[in-house]
Amino acid sequence: MAVEVKIPAVGESITSGIVSVWHKKSGDFVNAGDALFTLETDKVSTEIAAETSGVLDTIVNEGQEVKIGEVVATIDDSKKTGDGTKPAEKRKSIGDAAKPAASPAKEKSEDGETLSPAVRRIVEEENLDAGKISGTGPGGRITKADALAAAQNRGKTEKKSEPAQDRQSDDGRIVRKKMSPLRRKIAAQLVMSQHTTATLTTFNECDMSAVQKLRADSQDAFTKKNGVKLGFMSFFIKASVEALKTVPVVNGRIEDEDFIYNNFYDVGVAVGTERGLVVPIVRDADKKSFADLERDIAGFATKAREGKLKIEDITGGTFTITNGGVYGSLFATPILNPPQTGILGMHKIMQRPIAIDGKVEVRPMMFLALSYDHRAIDGKEAVTFLIKVKECIEDPKKLPLDF
């Protein structure tokens, strides 16, 4: 019996995605729970697993856009594995799974009766495999309607299986490529942010000397104790939480004619991937230690690169931090992530001359940028927030150090 593999619902408001890669190929024997393919949506990439064991027959190609509920493959759980045992009798590993040999169209239905002349004619003319046609007649026999339906569905499948190709101009000067769902979602979100918020950015700079020294002095012991390195992002998350407590309006959002104050601190950390920017959420950041924060950050970065973030990893969030400094950015204005009202931008650490007690000294400096929704936050509040972050970074003892 052929079991259909359909695109599952992977999150609210997600209606389509792209089959980015098949982990199994047509003809492979798969076990229940094996990853069949990766579905890339406008929010996350998700591995779709087999619900039953059997021989896989793929319908769509890699790179093809599909809708939620669409059939992308079938798994024939009645076929046997390479050693003659049925799937229920023996579960073979991925490496040992044998591919079934190609066979000509069967001339008998499942109950052993020969195909009727009308059915045989359709099978031969359309070059169908009778073994892949589900019979609805008595005893599972293939009827003429079954054969006609199989021929019609195959035509649709062949048409759907043509993946979107890059199109190059005749002179080779331009290439037109379809944007991925994630890239299209990012584009729409950024435009929506600009159109629906009164975005303003305020700037400051902070001396990273104290944090750099504390990090260097604590790194070996911290890594040995916690199994993860101490980075700068955990300091900025902690500093942002302290600033959000000082200026609660930055941790809220506008909803219709009301303003919602959030008494929890779910901080989004922007992560760049080859497919685009995603913002996984560090939940209850105020309750987590530096080690917990670093583990969360490292875990999200790995999952983002491998396309394994789940929908619950990126939904929600009360405030966002983005670090363009890892790419060398010296100065930038981050765009709000609605419905949030604030986003902190970190930048590259550079040695710069500054005045210290009337003397010029060279210090490791970082520009900070806070973009905020001016509909809800006044300039005084935004500046107060940013100065609080600066103070916590320049004097880390103001933070709840727990390492």
Q: Give residue-wise pLDDT tens across range 335-346.
A: 999 999 999 999
How far apart CA 133 and CA 116 sit, in angstroms, is 14
User: Is residue 149 pLDDT above 50, yes or no?
Assistant: yes
**CA-CA distance, 271 to 300, in Å (whole number)?**
8
Q: Which of 75-79, 103-107, 110-114, 317-321 has the highest mean pLDDT?
A: 317-321
Closest CA relative to residue 320, chosen from 196, 222, 189: 189
Cα–Cα–Cα angle for 95, 99, 105, rounded to 5 degrees: 170
Tell me how far CA of residue 214 lies from CA of 98, 124, 208, 288, 364, in angstroms.
57, 77, 10, 19, 14
| Among candidate residues 314, 258, 310, 318, the one with its CA nearest the CA of residue 284 | 318
Contact 56, 26 (CB under 8 A): yes
Whether the link from the prior residue into 339 is cis, omega within 30° of 0, is: yes
- The confidence score (pLDDT) of residue 22 equals 92
SS3 state of residue 17: strand
Whether the per-residue pLDDT at 166 is higher than 90: the answer is no
Task: Supply the pLDDT for residue 164.
Answer: 54
Query: Can you tell me the distance from the alpha carbon of 296 to that of 302, in angstroms, rounded to the nearest whole number?
Result: 10
272: β partners: 277
Q: Are strands 271-273 and 342-346 parallel, antiparallel or unpaired?
A: unpaired
pLDDT over 50 at 94, yes or no: no
pLDDT at 217: 96
In the chain, the domains with their CATH numbers are 2-160 (2.40.50.100), 182-398 (3.30.559.10)
Does the pLDDT value for residue 380 go beyond 80? Answer: yes
Q: Binning pLDDT at 50, 70 and 90, where does residue 80 land?
A: low
CB count within 10 Å of CB 199 equals: 19
HEC profile for 128-156?
Answer: CCHHHCCCCCHHHCCCHHHHHHHHHHHHH
User: For the chain, how many residues are written?
Assistant: 403
DSSP state letters, 357-392? TTEEEEEEEEEEEEEEETTT--HHHHHHHHHHHHHH
Contact between 28 and 44 under an 8 Å Cβ cutoff? The reply is no
Query: Residue 97's pLDDT band (boundaries 50, 70, 90)?
Result: very low
Q: What is the model's pLDDT at position 155? A: 53
Say what the alpha-carbon torsion angle 186, 187, 192, 194 is, to the nearest 10 degrees.
110
Buried b (16+ CB within 10 A) or exposed e, 76-93: bbebbbeeeeebeeeebe
The DSSP line for 27-63 is T-EE-TT-EEEEEE-SS-EEEEEPSS-EEEEE-S-TT
CA atoms lying within 13 Å on the CB side of residue 14: 26
Catalytic residues: 374, 378
pLDDT tens digits, one per residue of 253-291: 999 999 999 999 999 999 887 777 889 999 999 999 999
**DSSP-derived secondary structure letter, 299:** H
pLDDT of 96 higher than 50: no
Which SS3 state, helix, strand or coil, does residue 73 take?
strand
Q: Highest-confidence range of 135-144, 187-196, 290-299, by mean pLDDT?
A: 290-299
Dump the DSSP string for 248-297.
Answer: GGGG-EEETTEEEPPSS--EEE-EEETTEEE--EETTGGG--HHHHHHHH
Predicted confidence band at 103 (pLDDT cuts at 50, 70, 90)? very low
Per-residue confidence (pLDDT) for residue 130, from 0 to 100: 78
- Helix, strand and coil content of the chain, in percent to the nearest 5, comes to 30, 25, 40
Which of residues 398 and 39 earns the better pLDDT score? 398
